[in-house]
Amino acid sequence: MRPHIMVVEDEKHLATGIKYNLEADGYRVTVVGDGPTALRLFGQTGEGIDLMILDLMLPGMSGYAVCETIRGLGSRVPVLMLSARTLTEDRTRGFDVGANQYMAKPFDLDELLSRVKNLLQLQRLQLSADAAKPNLAKPRIASTEFGQVEVDFETHQVTVAGRETRMTPKELKLLRYFVEHPGRVISRGELLEKVWEMSGNLQTRAVDQFVVRLRKIIETDPATPRHLLTIRDAGYRFLPQPRSGEPELEGD
């Protein structure tokens, strides 16, 4: 069956052009012009959508909100976000809410088609790998407490020192991975593969930036972390109950 792509874009001429070229490459395409309609259709046929091309500035609700809602439903459908906004904070926010890739408008059509192809290939490989794995994985941790932090990963409720704190889905996913692997040194490549679902060989500072943000949330003194340590030239280690005097081993 041909891959099914949902294009969420309110500029009709652009949506028409994307649809035409995707169909010429053999894909099935559904075009939607606003955020609420996209979510409604996704809720009805989400299992049948193989990839979403999502504009950032949409009527009704932003692409950020659409993507965050989809991820909140537990969907791992690849999301390629499009936007005329090119600031670093715009791209960072896109990745925060769960986008897999981000392209700035105007974009090269061949690059768009290439990214679509690669995202679909990665998705197929991931699904095949998941299907081949024996069902021996330990149960996911639903909640945790350490230091002054309490987290419910199912409801996304976070309190630090008794005060409610908001965390993005990606921050929660990263923290959950650390919590599920306490005491073990985890490389940046492993985090890219398991949390970002990207190649572990990718050269990016995303992991380091997110660790800095996590420390600002969970550490009493982010400059001298006791729970989330950097291990020189190796990666990171999470200690729910740090030993007294545990040193921070910076390697950056």
- The CATH fold assigned to 143-238 is Arc Repressor Mutant, subunit A (1.10.10)
Identify the band that residue 252 occupies on the pLDDT scale cut at 50, 70 and 90.
Answer: very low
Superfamily of domain 4-132: Response regulator (3.40.50.2300)
Identify the band that residue 248 occupies on the pLDDT scale cut at 50, 70 and 90.
Answer: very low
User: What's the distance, CA 213 to chain centroid?
Assistant: 15
Q: What is the mean pLDDT of residues 159-163?
A: 93
Place of tokens 């003194």: 221
Q: Which of 71-85, 149-163, 221-235 has the lowest mean pLDDT?
A: 71-85
Supply the pLDDT for residue 130.
64
Fold match flag (4-132 vs 143-238): no
pTM of the model as a whole? 0.58
Q: What percent of the chain has pLDDT over 90?
A: 51
Ordered by start, the domain boundaries in the chain are: 4-132, 143-238
To the nearest 5 percent, what fractions of the chain are helix, strand and coil?
40, 20, 40
Is the dihedral angle over the CA atoms 196, 202, 208, 209 positive or is it negative? negative
What does DSSP assign to residue 149? E
Supply the pLDDT for residue 133.
63
What does DSSP assign to residue 51? E
Q: What is the mean pLDDT of residues 173-190?
A: 92
